[in-house]
Structure 1
Amino acid sequence: MDAARDLYRRFLLELWHAPAERLPALATEVVAPDFVRHRGGAPDQHGPAAIVTLIEQSTALFDDVAVTIDQGPVADGDLVAARWIFAGAYRGGIPGATAPVGTRVAFSGMDLVRLANGKVAEYWVSSDGDHLMAQLGVDGKAGS
């Protein structure tokens, strides 16, 4: 189980903190070629590029990004779960946000990943986007 937890730590901590030029190669090391990022009501995304895109899109909106593990990871067979915290300084660019650039934000979420052949094969995430949007002053999200 230590190998599963260690792989999850690489998936979360190394990928989110990787320099931009290293991110695609690191994603290929950690994520399976047939990786699937499940997105709730949106179409699934596939391959290592899916996690690279998620990280690039997120870090385009925030400076000084710090992703930490709050609870876990807990491993059971090929499944690993953990609770994380994302913190950063808002760069701007979210439609409807009234928070000034530089506003510090933090929100949490939970991951479930399935491992196969020493890599992350599937990824489900649930995060407190309402809390993030409230911190950024986006109408309709405050008080959630």
Structure 2
Amino acid sequence: MTIREEPTAPHSREQMRALYDRWSRMWRGDFRHAEDILAPGFLVHQARPDGSDSEAVTGPARLLPEIEQTMAAFGGIAITVDLGPIIDGDVIAARWTMRATYAGGIPHATAPVGTEISFSGHDILRVADGRFVEYWTCTDILDGLAQLGAVSGPNGPARH
């Protein structure tokens, strides 16, 4: 499902970059502007590891618990934007890498608390009326889970 809202006045590159900066801060735990940058109908398109429907819940209520879960499982989160943000019309895209320290709580993980991990992903965000309305994400969560010993891959056992 894709949300299509009425076209809005174009946003400047500076406005789009500022919006993306707030997005990045939100993923580091700064939720002060979440209601300002996420539209009430904010829709996430994501392949979920548990098979759940990523579009079942919308708005900030969809995304903020996921960020909180990430922050509970990992400390010292550092997110580096490897490419971008790339701004084209009402769309912002970026590739990022998250580095963090495992804090525990992930099912089937065999790595000890304190294990350093990193994994990457790509985000595409659509903006309308100065807020994010849609989010497509592709995260290499399997790489992160393999580093924690929670899954094994075809190339051998999970890394530690």
How would you bin the TM-score normalised by the shorter chain? 0.7 to 0.9
- % identical equivalent positions: 42
Aligned residues of 1:110 and 1:125 also touching (Cα < 8 A) = yes
TM-score normalised according to structure 2 size: 0.80
- Aligned-partner SS, 1:18: coil
How far apart, in 1, do the equivalents of 2:151 and 2:86 lie? 36
Normalized per residue, the structure richer in strand is 1
How far apart, in 2, do the equivalents of 1:139 and 1:131 lie? 9
TM-score normalised according to structure 1 size: 0.88
Correspondence for 2:44 among 26, 37, 51:
37
Per-residue deviation, 1:17 = 2.0
Task: Say yes or no: does 1:89 pair with 2:101.
Answer: yes
How far apart, in 2, do the equivalents of 1:123 and 1:56 lie? 18
Per-residue deviation, 1:127 = 0.9
Task: Say yes or no: does 1:26 pair with 2:38.
Answer: no
How far apart, in 1, do the equivalents of 2:90 and 2:103 lie? 37
Aligned residues: 139
* Deviations 1:48-77 (CA, angstroms, capped at 9, x unpaired): 122211100111100111122111010111
Normalized per residue, the structure richer in helix is 1
Aligned to 2:6: none
How far apart, in 1, do the equivalents of 2:86 and 2:97 lie? 16
Aligned residues of 2:98 and 2:118 also touching (Cα < 8 A) = yes
How far apart, in 1, do the equivalents of 2:140 and 2:151 lie? 16
Structure 2 unaligned runs (5+)? 1-12
